[in-house]
Amino acid sequence: MDNLRREFDAAWADFRTLDSLRLIPDTLESEWTRARDTYLAFLISLDDPAAVSHLRNLVRQIETIPGVEPYPEDYWHITIKGIGFEVPNAARPDDLRGSEVQRIAKTARAVFATQPAFEVRLGLAGGFPEVVIAEVWDSLPVRDLNCRLLEAAPGLIRYPFDGPYFLPHVSIARFASDERLTGLKGTLSRLRQSPPGPAFTVREVHFIRAQLSERTPSFQTIETYALTTDN
């Protein structure tokens, strides 16, 4: 936890210096998407009752701030690795044909088959330029899985935040406006004085398609991987 805590503190310090946020239209219509709308990722769903209750409380503290748009509960997740866009004709480094998607799903089976179930803890509220987050503490296994997927499938797109820089989190809101950025920073600062959230056990990982639109992305599960247990 110690190393990740320093990294989360550094991310929070960066957020406090922001003069503007990355708003919803930028995330949907940016150079990153380039009119593509089917994104693939490995992720951990958030369905632990205590964790969900903690996130609900965080959302209640920020949802009345103008320009802050909470994500619905069925969107809450911890990303392990973003894979790229599924397209009929691959032309960019992060484009994937259907046959490549199945190959990646098969490769991932070997990675997750040897991964024991592990415990993580929801940490403090924070922010990135695009989203309000809940930090995920004790989450080095998540970062390790990110690295192992990159090693197992060398052709996977490597984002600047992957590998040793990957910082596990739960996105709980995005931004429609930054007119109340100062107030948002103040609210998050107060929330960071509260105790962290509960711990819970991660027992499975999902490979999903995220359908991007002006609404919150919707998920379709391609495959579910059960982590190993002693039972």
The residues spanned by each domain of the chain are 2-224
Interval 54-112: pLDDT, tens: 999 999 999 999 999 999 999 999 999 999 999 988 888 889 988 899 999 999 999 99
| CA-to-CA dists, residue 183 to 26, 48, 66, 71, 175, angstroms | 22, 30, 9, 19, 13
CATH architecture of 2-224: Alpha-Beta Complex (3.90)
**Surface-to-core class of residue 6, CB atoms within 10 Å of its CB (0-12 exposed, 13-18 middle, 19+ buried):** exposed
Tracing tokens 């040793």 back to the chain, one arrives at 164
Q: What is the rounded average pLDDT for all residues in the chain?
A: 93
Is the pLDDT at 25 greater than 90, yes or no?
Answer: no
End-to-end CA distance of the chain: 27
Beta strands in the chain (DSSP E): 38-45, 68-70, 77-86, 95-96, 118-127, 131-137, 169-175, 199-202, 204-211, 218-226
| CA-to-CA dists, residue 55 to 18, 76, 81, 83, angstroms | 24, 9, 22, 26
The set of residues, in sequence order, having a beta carbon less than 8 Å from that of 142 and lying 6+ positions away, is 44, 78, 80, 120, 136, 166, 168, 202
CB crowding 205-220: b at 16 or more within 10 Å, else e: bbbbbbebeeebbebe
Pairwise CA distance, residues 37 & 220, whole Å? 13
Is the pLDDT at 51 greater than 70, yes or no?
Answer: yes
Question: In sequence order, what are the beta bridge partners of 133?
Answer: 126, 171
Is the pLDDT at 2 greater than 70, yes or no?
Answer: no
* Confidence band for 204, pLDDT divided at 50, 70 and 90: very high
Tracing tokens 């499975």 back to the chain, one arrives at 204
pLDDT at 73: 95
10 SS3 class: helix
Interval 150-182: pLDDT, tens: 999 998 999 999 999 999 999 999 999 999 999
pLDDT at 192: 97
pLDDT at 91: 83
Residues belonging to the chain = 231
One-letter amino acid of 133: I
pLDDT at 193: 96
Pairwise CA distance, residues 104 & 81, whole Å? 12
Is the pLDDT at 219 greater than 60, yes or no?
Answer: yes
Pairwise CA distance, residues 86 & 49, whole Å? 33
* Confidence band for 127, pLDDT divided at 50, 70 and 90: very high
Tracing tokens 């920020």 back to the chain, one arrives at 62
- Return the DSSP state at 116: B
